[in-house]
A and B are shown apart, each in its own frame.
Chain A
Amino acid sequence: MTAQTGTKLEADVVVMGGGPAGCWAALAAAEQGARVIVVEKGYVGTSGATAAGNTTIIDAAPGSVAQSEAVKRRRARGAGLVEEDVVTRVLDETYRQLGRLADWGYGFPTSDTGLLFRGSMRGVDYLYFMRRKLLKAGVTILDHAPADTLLAHEGVAAGVSGRWRASGERWTVHAGAVVIASGGCAFLSGALGTNNLTGDGYLMAAELGARLSGMDFTGQYGIAPKGSSVTKGIVYFWATLFDVDGNRIEETGDRQEIVARHLLRGSVRAVLDKAPERLREGMRHGQPNIFLPFDRQGIDPFTQPFEVTLLYEGTVRGVGGILIGQDGATDLPGLYAAGDAAAREPMSGATSGGGGPNASWALATGVWAGGAAARFAGSLGPLAVRRPARAATGITGTTVAHADARAELADIIRAVQGEVLPLDRSFYRSGDRLAVSAQRLDTLWQAVRRFDVRLPGQEKSYEAAAMTATARWIVASAQARPESRGIHRREDAASTGEAPRRIHSGGVGRVWSRWSHAADHSTPESLAAE
């Protein structure tokens, strides 16, 4: 690629993404004295799945009964892939940082029993607080600055570049270390707060040869009132469901699975009639966004059944991401990952972590990755930012103008969605369908790599490429696991007693996937060097 023009900045640590993981990473790095820049596709405070929703977080003191029960619950749900020591470390770190949040003046509510309740935060309030904390700590924030290129020098990550959304001009940050906290990928499914979550960080890391993991555990959807974005699954704990014929659904078990089964037969309606009055009031005051689809359409969800649907949540609530070691180190020196951008089998196993474990994971891995990145940058010394770093990634096949690039890209995105979003693609999988998807996605990859994010009308081409690549890793990983386990549901293969192992994947031109041993996740070089 040619030399970068436009805004040029230097930092010890650059963090890609300003959700919870990115904010905690930036803060941890700044607290170690590093000069930190956060680059965010949207706005730090409103961007990402946490901002638009509420975030349940596990608040359990180290060594407490509550903590050991939380660890046991993770193990029980994880289908053999949860690593208890990692869960314990995550919960310890979460507890410590929640205490600091309270000390800094975050206004946690007091429950009716008079105790401070720290187990749930409104995402937008939490991130508003974190943004202010970062600014006070001297962190520079670049909003509306989507990244699309990693810089490297002699195989070591050395910065990030991207464009300003408003002007289309380029910006470049030369840095001693890079933290990818760009979130997961939900393929523009419409699930709450996921529009910016298109897997961009995965593609940048994979282009540099970093491995991914857990892309098989991606059969994750959220329940939402039909036509709305509000995937707040928690309220359906208190729902009665009705099938297409209006009969009450009596089945018990996983709510998403019940809804999926019945959606495939027609439609599903829900009414939140099992919520007692005290809880109804609690939901209204606690999480007002639950009620926006209802209040604004004149529906009383506690007495009037409403149609529900499932929106794909991919790796946002699923498991897959960039393979990391204990400190968030990836396969590439100087490159770290945290939160949903990182593979989460140690925390959530083969199932969705859901809100609580994912929020705790984001916080803890953010703190660790930010701290490790600051130490790495420090070890390079002040001249690190002067390394002759080059754009090591960036999908630029041929930089030709397309007659109607916008429409072509929209078609590609729709086609990729067609291989991922339908229930018979990701909720229920089969070898035959996966083989067809793999072939179609290979073709789509050839199509999408002909665009260049720097050209007018092609601004969304990096997102399109990242979604295409992520779909390919998902399909390749699903093909590599001929068994059902957790949220990887194969119609043509039952659960097995096989020893639990992870599936790694990667590659960009040629996609690969392969089995790994469960304990084989902590192999990135920079971890071994710690």
Chain B
Amino acid sequence: MIELLSPTRCIACNLCVKACPDHVFEAVENDIPVIARKEDCQTCFLCELYCPVDALYVSPLRDRDEIVSEEELAARGLLGSFRQRMGWDRSRPKGTHKDTSYRMFEDDKVKP
């Protein structure tokens, strides 16, 4: 579930409010958004892609809370790690041509 919306990184663009498929975030007037409905988070990690400043962290644990510290996540290189791997940049996909999924189909084990 979503565990961090960093108040130091967030620029209040509210893209997470818009892009979250489960309406987890809520915009706040003249302020940064809040995680308003954490229990509705489906742990899809997609808000991290849309966040232009790597201010969000989704724990891979889908049905229980995880206590996280921004400092530690940053030190472990986990803030924005999914976005970087996917090649997203400023809320846009830039890495589709680098998708190496085709290697999964090379040894003929998997047939679509």
Most chain-A CB neighbours within 10 Å: which of B44, B97, B98?
B44
A58 touches B44 (CB 8 A): no
**Set B19, B46, B100, B112: member contacting A52, Cβ < 8 A:** B46
Contacts of B59 in A (CB 8 A): 296
Contacts of A110 in B (CB 8 A): 97
A196 touches B99 (CB 8 A): no
Most chain-B CB neighbours within 10 Å: which of A41, A73, A125, A291?
A125
Question: Is B7 an interface position by the 8 A CB rule?
Answer: no
Closest to A57 in B: B112
A46-B111 Cα distance, complex, nearest whole Å: 27
**Set A41, A46, A228, A282: member contacting B43, Cβ < 8 A:** A228
A285 touches B21 (CB 8 A): no
Closest to A227 in B: B61
Question: Is B5 an interface position by the 8 A CB rule?
Answer: no
Contacts of A328 in B (CB 8 A): none
A107 touches B96 (CB 8 A): yes
A144-B24 Cα distance, complex, nearest whole Å: 11
A480-B30 Cα distance, complex, nearest whole Å: 58
B101 touches A287 (CB 8 A): yes
Work out how many contacts link A and B, with CB atoms closer than 8 A: 168
Contacts of B40 in A (CB 8 A): 195
B96 touches A122 (CB 8 A): yes
Contacts of B112 in A (CB 8 A): 56-58, 70, 119, 354-357
Extra contacts besides A46-B21, A54-B101, A193-B42 (11): CB < 8 Å:
A42-B23, A57-B112, A70-B112, A194-B42, A228-B60, A282-B101, A283-B104, A285-B100, A292-B45, A296-B60, A357-B112
Task: Give the B-binding residues of A (Cβ under 8 A).
Answer: 41-43, 45-48, 51-52, 54, 56-58, 70, 73, 106-111, 117, 119-122, 124-125, 128-129, 143-144, 165-166, 190, 192-196, 225, 227-230, 234, 237-238, 278-279, 281-289, 291-293, 295-297, 354-357
Query: What are 18 pairs between A and B in contact, CB < 8 Å?
Result: A45-B19, A52-B42, A52-B45, A109-B99, A117-B102, A119-B102, A120-B99, A120-B101, A121-B99, A124-B49, A166-B23, A192-B43, A238-B109, A279-B106, A281-B103, A287-B101, A288-B85, A288-B86
